[in-house]
Amino acid sequence: MMEITLQSPLDMHIHFRQDEMLKVVAPLSAQHFAGGVIMPNLLPPVDNLDRLHWYTSEVQQACVGHTFDPYMTLFFRDYTAQDLELAKPHIIGIKLYPAGATTNSDGGVQEIMSMAHVFDAMQELDIPLLVHGETHGFVMDREDEFCEVYRALATRWPRLRITMEHITTQKAVGLLDEFENLRATVTPHHLIITLDDLAGGMLQPHLFCKPIAKRPEDRDALLQAALSAHPKLMLGSDSAPHPRDKKECPGCAAGVFTAPIILPMLAELFERHNALANLQAFVSDNAQRLYKLTPPAKTITLSKTAMMIPELYGSVVPMWAGRELSWSVTAIS
Q: What is the pLDDT along the chain (333 residues), one digit of tens a residue?
A: 899 999 999 999 999 999 999 999 999 999 999 999 999 999 999 999 999 999 999 999 999 999 999 999 999 999 999 999 999 999 999 999 999 988 888 899 999 999 999 999 999 999 999 999 999 999 999 999 999 999 999 999 999 999 999 999 999 999 999 999 999 999 999 999 999 999 999 999 999 999 999 999 999 999 999 999 999 999 999 999 999 999 999 999 999 999 999 999 999 999 999 999 999 999 999 999 999 999 999 999 999 999 999 999 999 999 999 999 999 999 999
User: How many other C-beta atoms lie within 10 A of the C-beta of residue 296?
Assistant: 11
Number of folded domains that form the chain: 1
Strand partners, 72: 38
**Quick one: how far is CA 229 from the chain centroid?**
17
Residues marked as catalytic: 238
Phi, psi of 106, rounded to the nearest 5 degrees: -60, -25
Model pTM score: 0.98
Tell me the C-alpha distance between 119 and 112, whole Å: 10
Domain span including residue 197: 3-332
The CATH number given to whatever domain includes residue 265 is 3.20.20.140
* 282 neighbors 267 (Cβ within 8 angstroms): no
Strands 182-186, 69-75: pairing is unpaired
